Amino acid sequence: MSHTVKCEIKCKEHNICFKSPIFFGTPGTFTSAITYGNIVSCPIGGEMIPCNKDNMRFQYRDDNGRVFHEEGKDTF
């Protein structure tokens, strides 16, 4: 099975989602990224947004082409 993962960050201040500049290949690397405390800047306001489970969204695509969205969860 091979999944494509797209990661989006949500800016709660501007109520938008934008594609993360940080590449997360798997939920495992996602966890590593959290450990290292990555910060991204909002494309609208430029404010710094810490990447955490509350404001990240992932897009998975399975072998049949179906797309799944998953909000950040504690189960990673």
Nearer to Zn ion, 33 or 42 (CB): 42
Nearer to Zn ion, 17 or 44 (CB): 44
Query: Cβ of residue 17: shortest distance to Zn ion, in angstroms?
Result: 11
Residue pair 38/56 in contact (Cβ under 8 Å)? The answer is no
Query: Cβ of residue 5: shortest distance to Zn ion, in angstroms?
Result: 23
Chain centroid to CA 24: 7
Strand, helix or coil for residue 5? strand
Q: Which residues here bind Zn ion, judged by CB under 5 A?
A: 11, 13-14, 42, 44-45
Query: Cβ of residue 44: shortest distance to Zn ion, in angstroms?
Result: 5
Nearest of 38, 44, 48 to residue 17 by alpha carbon: 44
